[in-house]
Amino acid sequence: DAMVIQNPRYQVTQFGKPVTLSCSQTLNHNVMYWYQQKSSQAPKLLFHYYDKDFNNEADTPDNFQSRRPNTSFCFLDIRSPGLGDAAMYLCATSRDLREETQYFGPGTRLLVL
Amino acid sequence: AQSVTQLGSHVSVSEGALVLLRCNYSSSVPPYLFWYVQYPNQGLQLLLKYTSAATLVKGINGFEAEFKKSETSFHLTKPSAHMSDAAEYFCAVSSSNTGKLIFGQGTTLQVKP
C-alpha cells in the first residue's frame, strides 16, 4: 500500500545533541511537509518542500533544518535540541500545494533529556 | 484570512449515542474543508474532505459531515458511537493562497461504556 513512513517512531536525545528524523513516501507526491505537534495542540507547520523548493515558515526556529535528497525521502534535522523541542513530529505529503489532501505518517515522538 | 474554530475541546458521549463535533470556518472564497482523526501516539488520518461537489460528505468509519454555507459550518456526525471512536478530531481548511492546512484547536472525543 502507498504510504508515508517515519523512522524512528520514538527518539530519545540529549539536550544539545543533534538529531535527525526521517520520512519516506511511496505516493510519489510532489510536496512533503514537517509539522511539530505538542501535547493537546494542533500540528504546527515547520516547513515544506515542493519538489526541491524549500519553504520555511516565518516562525520556525533556525535550530530546525530539513533536507530532501530525492522525491521519496525528507529529513528533519534539529541541530541543538532543547527541552522545549520535545514533541511529536509529523511528516505529511500531498500531490500538489493547493486544495489537495495531505497524507500523514505515524509520527516520531521526540524526547529530550 | 481563513480560519477554523472547533467548539468544545472535549466531548463525551455514551457508546451507541450520536456523535456531533462542531466546526465553523471563516473564508471569503469557497473553502476546501477536512476532518482528520488522531489516535494516541499516531499521525493524522483523513476522515473526509469537502470539495464543493456535494454538501453532505461521507467519510470512513461511519462518519459524515454537512457543509452549510449559510452557517459557515462543517460539523462532523456519526449516528452511533463506538468505543474505538475515542480520539482527537481536527477540522481544517486549506488556505486558498498557500494551500497550507489551517487547523482548528482539536476536539477530544471520549466514549463511555
Pairing label, strands A108-112, A10-13: parallel
CA A36 to chain centre: 7
Residues 6+ apart with CB under 8 A from A22: A6, A7, A8, A73, A75
Report d(CA A41, CA A53) in Å as an integer: 28
Residue in this structure with the C-alpha cell 530546525, named with its chain if needed: A64
Higher pLDDT, B8 or A99: B8
> Could you read off the pLDDT tens digit of each residue along chain B, which spans 113 residues?
788 999 999 999 999 999 999 999 998 777 899 999 999 989 999 999 998 778 899 999 999 999 999 999 999 999 999 999 999 999 999 887 778 899 999 999 999 99
Amino acid at A29: H
Q: Which long-range contacts (CB under 8 A, 24 or more apart) does B43-46 make?
A: B43/A4, B43/A6, B43/A90, B43/A92, B43/A104, B43/A105, B43/A106, B43/A107, B44/A43, B44/A90, B44/A92, B44/A104, B44/B90, B45/A104, B46/A101, B46/A103
Of B42, B100, B106, the CB nearest to A106: B42
- Residue of higher predicted confidence among A2 and A55: A55
CB contacts of B27 in chain A (<8 Å) are none
> Given this model, what pLDDT does residue B94 score?
87
- DSSP E strands in chain A: the ranges are 4-7, 10-13, 19-25, 31-37, 44-50, 53-56, 64-67, 73-78, 87-94, 103-104, 108-112
Chain A environment of B107 (Cβ under 8 Å): none
- Res A86 pLDDT > 90: yes
How would you label A55-73 residue by residue, b for 16+ Cβ within 10 Å and e otherwise?
Answer: eeeeebeeebbbebeebbe
B-chain residues within 8 Å CB-CB of A107? 41-43
How high is the mean pLDDT of chain A?
94
**Which pLDDT score is estimated for A97?**
84
Of B42, B90, B99, the CB nearest to A99: B99
pLDDT band at A1 (very low <50, low <70, confident <90, very high): low
pLDDT for the residue numbered A17:
96
Distance CA B68, CA A81 (A): 44
pLDDT category of residue A27 using cuts at 50, 70 and 90: very high
Cα torsion at B48, A34, B30, B54 (round to 10°)? Answer: -10
Residue B97 has a pLDDT of 75
Q: Does the pLDDT of residue A2 top 70, yes or no?
A: no
| Set of cell numbers at residue B46 | 483523513
Whether the CB-CB separation of A104 and A3 falls below 8 Å is answered with: no
Q: Smallest CA–CA separation between B103 and chain A, in Å?
A: 6
